Amino acid sequence: MATASISFQFQHPTFRLRHRHAVRSWLQQCAADEGKALGSLNFLFCDDPYMLEANRQFLQHDYLTDILTFPAPSALGIAGDILISIDRTRDNAKQLATNPLDEIHRVMAHGVLHLVGYNDHTTEEQSVMRTQEDLWLNRRTF
């Protein structure tokens, strides 16, 4: 049986993800709890200029977001590329008066939740997404 592949790349000049093995296990377990296997996930942690260019290039949006999720076909399970702006997540953490690492983990969970089938287009979907993010964050053991 093939195993999940979760990779982390860093375009942001100062950010490095700690506890990578634990983060991989956490995401695999959360996806499994949703009844999904993980195929290949590629996380890219970037800065705001990189994220703005990605929004412009791929979505024709001329504004910043904290995350972009790009699903990819895979026979092994859910798969995709997830771009996360460290600048946006740090600013969000300040505005929400929360721990910056918790906010980064929330956004990581958010991207995987999109890949397992959750949306956030409506107010109701946003509420469900936030509930799932909270559940996933509470499952962390690191």
CATH number, position 127: 3.40.390.30
- 49-99 tens-digit pLDDT: 999 999 999 999 999 999 999 999 888 899 999 999 999 999 999 999 999
What are the start-end ranges of the H helices in 34-99? Answer: 48-54, 86-96
- pTM of the predicted protein model: 0.94
Burial of 90 (0-12, 13-18, 19+ CB in 10 A): middle
Question: In this predicted model, what pLDDT tens digit does every residue of 20-40 receive, in sequence order?
Answer: 999 999 999 999 999 999 999
Query: What range defines the domain where residue 41 resides?
Result: 5-138
**Overall number of domains in the chain:** 1
Assess contact for 69 and 114: CB atoms under 8 A: yes
